[in-house]
Amino acid sequence: MKKIGFKNFRRFKELEPLELGEITLMVGKNNSGKSTLVKALLLVLDYLRNQQNSTFSFANEALNDANIVTFERAKCKHQNEATIDFSFEIESYQISISIWGEDKWTFADVSNITIRDTDTSLELEIDYLKENVRITKLAKKVTDVFNIEEVESELLHKIAQKKRELEDLNKTSREGLNLINQINGLNDKLKKLENITFESSEKKITDVEYSLEYPIKDFSTTSTEESVFEEIVSDFLSRNHDLRVFYIGKRQDSSTLTHEENELFEQINGIDGERNNIKESITKLVNLLNTKKVFYLGANPSKQSALFNLRDKENALGQAIHEFYQLKIKEGEPEYLFIENWMKAFDIGNSFEIEFISGEAYECYIVNDKVKTHLADMGMGSLQLMQLLFRIATMIRIYKKETKGINLIVEEPELNLHPSLQSELADFFFEINDKYGIKFIIETHSEYIIRKTQVLGLKKGLFIDQELNPNPFKVYYFHITEGPYPMNYTNEGKFDRSFAKGFTNVATDSTKEMLKLNRK
């Protein structure tokens, strides 16, 4: 995923598309819009994957984390616009979606969706208001520099014109004989064209845009074998091919087509010639949407309970333990070692044990020098970290070589953590991204995480050569009035602008105030 932006959504009248990095960190005051970006991302991905034609849902079970429910809660309160617009980029695809609805609806109607593939210069537009589908394709056209057909057409036009002039003259008069000589000369030129072959003339390659639209009612979108996008494109190209065959037959039956028919045939023929490229582009997009995994880890406080009931879906830590245990990962295996190594880094313990009781619940113990401590007796910060470790280890085992397709959204991972452990989180996210390719979008209030990314960048030379050693960290500050803006790293590891008041300056301001009070 590359970018996400929107208009008239939640607290934003307009949010220009923000570029997402390997590890995107969003900081800012409460209610500044950090979670709004996450909600937009979850909603757009849900629609693109489920592709329920013109229905954009707010209430699917998978969207519990978005917590929007109705169109009224989705709209910007500071705007009177009736529509919401989303823009989304994934690899070479730029996607825009416009929706509208009634306030109490738990869904919205999609008025328009446009998909652009910048690699293949393809655009697919489904307009549910105009009730049509349009495909536009930029292609390469090979033509003769010396265009035989154009020259022949021009010669025939001149001969016909001069023959009409001759009808009004005496053919033996001086003017008539002159016209006859001109006609004969043109006929000689026409005969010479017969000796010029297509191969002997020079070729010129030019860009040409083909564009066609058909009524959406002509397309079926009921198949379960293909996605809606694939099915619409397949039906579109099938109809277009049939029309091409019809016009070819018409051209064979009669020597000429009208000017309008010729122009239409050129578009039909052009789109038909690109049908394989068009199909491949849309299939690639559908595969991308299906292979990119997006998971959301909220900042729900873990429950300090002795037993983690597997039926308790509200207990995020219990569910993380359940998912990990069901994979039967044994001691010494990479995912088990992954958890143990990071437990030591975060000062939680040396190892862990999980016991499954009566097929109903789990007990989890932290092992430190052969002393077992129930996880429920650990601090809240340890519980939060163990939930994160179990979830990521589970993903690594399930997806193995496909971990580069994982996008993990984490809300306030620093919750209940000591400042030094908050700082350690920056190393944690960096190593997982570097080793497994998992991408992160992180909502945080931690200055310590941000500061550690600067130290990491200098240690590993991330700010010097972006081509050889790219910096995975991308930081956005969400300003209450100005909206989000990027905090770019300089070569010295500093940021190119200041965070707004209330983030990094609080400790300094408190120290200054203490000095003033002591002077008094």
Residue 281 DSSP class: H
Predicted pLDDT at 164: 84
- Give the whole-angstrom CA distance, residue 381 versus residue 494: 29
Sort strands 12-19 and 3-9 into parallel, antiparallel or unpaired.
Answer: antiparallel
* 3-state SS class at 337: helix
Q: Which of 3-17, 49-63, 85-99, 141-155 has the lowest mean pLDDT?
A: 141-155
Q: pLDDT digit string (tens) for 208-219?
A: 899 999 999 888
Residue 92 φ then ψ, to 5°: -90, 5
Band the pLDDT of 142: cuts 50, 70, 90: low
Q: What residues have CB less than 8 Å from 11, skipping those under 6 apart?
A: 31, 33, 36, 76, 77, 78
Given a cut of 80, whether residue 516 has pLDDT beyond it is yes
CA–CA gap between residue 456 and residue 511 (Å, rounded): 27
C-alpha–C-alpha distance, residues 84 and 495, integer Å: 33
More confident residue, 14 or 166: 14
pLDDT bucket at 254, cuts 50 / 70 / 90: low
Query: What is the predicted pLDDT for the residue at 461?
Result: 93
Statement: residue 206 has pLDDT above 80: no
Q: Which residue has the higher pLDDT, 349 or 464?
A: 349
> What pLDDT is stored for residue 257 in this prediction?
72
pLDDT of residue 121: 93
Among the listed ranges 9-18, 21-30, 153-162, 385-394, which one has the minimum average pLDDT value? 153-162
Q: What is the pLDDT of residue 222?
A: 65
Paired tokens of 375: 């996880």
Residues 6+ apart with CB under 8 A from 330: 336
- Ordered DSSP codes for 139-208: EEEEEESS-HHHHHHHHHHHHHHHHHHHHTS-TTSHHHHHHHHHHHHHHHHHHHGGG--TTTSPEEEEEE
DSSP 385-413: HHHHHHHHHHHHHHHGGGGGGEEEEEE-T
Q: What local confidence, expressed as pLDDT, does residue 155 receive? A: 83
pLDDT at 467: 79
Q: Mind listing the pLDDT tens digit for each residue in 332-366?
A: 999 999 999 999 999 999 999 999 998 899 999 99
Two tokens at 503? 């983030």
For every residue of 280-291, DSSP letters joined together read HHHHHHHHHHHH
Tens of pLDDT, residues 475-506: 999 999 899 999 999 999 999 998 888 787 77
Q: 408 vs 209, 292, 296, 432, 490, CA distance in Å?
A: 39, 11, 6, 11, 27
Tell me the pairing of strands 308-309 and 361-368. Answer: antiparallel
Q: Is 86 helix (H, G, I), strand (E, B) or coil?
A: strand
Please list the residues that pair with 135 across neighbouring strands: 124, 212
Considering only the C-alpha atoms of the chain, give the largest distance between any 2 of them, rounded to a whole number of Å.
Answer: 124
Under a CB-based contact definition with an 8 Å cutoff, are residues 100 and 108 in contact?
Answer: yes
Per-residue pLDDT at 62: 59
Do 437 and 407 contact (CB within 8 A), yes or no? no
Q: What is residue 255's predicted lDDT score, i.e. its pLDDT?
A: 57
Rounded Cα distance between 440 and 20, Å, is 9
CB of 23 within 8 A of CB of 474? yes
Q: What's the whole-number mean pLDDT along residues 126-134? A: 95
Taking all residues of the chain, what is their mean pLDDT, rounded to a whole number? Answer: 88
Per residue in 388-400, pLDDT tens? Answer: 999 999 999 999 8
State pLDDT tens for residues 270-294: 999 999 999 999 999 999 998 889 9
Task: Give the strand pairing for 23-28 and 439-443.
Answer: parallel
Alpha helices in 6-69 (DSSP H): 34-50
- 430, 20 Cβ separation under 8 angstroms: no
Q: Per-residue pLDDT for 197 more than 60?
A: no
- pLDDT exceeds cutoff 60 at 124: yes
Token pair of 14 as six digits: 């307009």
